[in-house]
Amino acid sequence: MHTKQKVSEMVDEVLTRQAQNRARQRGESLEDALQAIMETEAGSQLKELRVGPHGEEGAEQWQEGLVQERAQEREEALGWSAADRPTSHPGEEEGANRG
């Protein structure tokens, strides 16, 4: 991922790399390999990501937002609210990670 890269550009790179690997491994043309990858569930999800609302967003910004979204989903699954958020992991002593 490049600093100024858009999500759509990142997706194109991933799909191209996957197609090149498949073409090399199976002796397929690049076009056939790309078509086969696009027909998989993962390829379909990448295609949706490329043309979806995040396609023109900066890849770095999108990934940061994704990390925050997943953390919030985990908290909600555990029944936590922002006030319930633990400050340290169970079993860790205060300041154990300080050098």
pLDDT in tens, 28-43: 999 999 999 999 999 9
Mean pLDDT calculated for residue range 38-64: 76
Which three-class secondary structure state does DSSP give residue 99?
coil
Tokens of 61: 């910004």
- Up-side HSE of residue 69: CA atoms within 13 Å toward CB? 6
Mean pLDDT calculated for residue range 77-99: 59
Question: Whole-angstrom Cα distance, residue 97 to residue 99?
Answer: 6
**% pLDDT > 90, the chain:** 31
Question: Whole-angstrom Cα distance, residue 72 to residue 98?
Answer: 26
For the chain, the domains span 7-79
**pLDDT value of position 41:** 95
- Of residues 42 and 71, the one with the higher pLDDT is 42
| Residue 21 pLDDT > 90 | yes
**% pLDDT > 70, the chain:** 62
**pLDDT value of position 17:** 94
